């Protein structure tokens, strides 16, 4: 609420600066826990080239998941399964790993295509309007 509309949050009585600092601290703590998991559980040492490409993948996952937590988790599972299967496909069937990157790129392009077309041709977004039924007092 504070990030999307700070004026409405202020009007509702929410302390904006306190919640922004709290959200930044919480996100930093979660990022630190993810980094500790990477170092202690995956690499078993601190390497110089620390997990390159995760930032670009995160942007793609947020786009694919429509910035919704459930959508981002499902998109990350899709990308994780694709990446996990890539090494096995290469060793078992001789399929190059780059095919998985091409598939991921195609998925992102097809998900982003409607927004790109609307932006290029300056089309308005189609929204179906539903009838709003309301009752008055005592009815």
Compare 103 and 122 and report the one with higher pLDDT. Answer: 103
CA distances from 56 to 9, 20, 59, 85 (A): 31, 24, 5, 20
Does residue 134 have a pLDDT over 80? no
Burial (CB count within 10 angstroms: exposed 0-12, middle 13-18, buried 19+), residue 21: exposed
Q: How confident is the model at residue 129 (pLDDT cuts 50, 70, 90)?
A: low
Does residue 61 have a pLDDT over 70? yes
pTM of the full structure: 0.59
Instruction: Assess contact for 116 and 110: CB atoms under 8 A.
Output: no
Distance CA(68)–CA(74), nearest Å, equals 10
Report pLDDT digits (tens) over 77-100.
998 898 888 888 888 888 888 888
Query: What pLDDT, on a 0 to 100 scale, did the predictor assign at position 122?
Result: 80
């Amino acid at each position: 609420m504070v990030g999307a509309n700070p004026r409405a949050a202020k009007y509702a009585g929410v302390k904006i600066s306190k919640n922004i600092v709290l959200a930044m601290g919480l996100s930093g703590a979660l990022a630190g826990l993810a980094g500790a998991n990477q170092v202690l559980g995956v690499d078993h040492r601190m390497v110089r080239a620390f997990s390159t490409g995760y930032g670009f993948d995160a942007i793609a996952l947020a786009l694919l998941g429509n910035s919704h937590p459930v959508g981002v988790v499902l998109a990350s599972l899709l990308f994780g399964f694709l990446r996990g299967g890539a090494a096995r496909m290469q060793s078992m069937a001789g399929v190059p790993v780059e095919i998985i990157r091409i598939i991921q790129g195609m998925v992102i392009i097809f998900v982003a295509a409607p927004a790109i077309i609307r932006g290029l041709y300056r089309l308005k977004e189609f929204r179906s309007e539903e009838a709003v039924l309301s009752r008055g007092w005592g009815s």
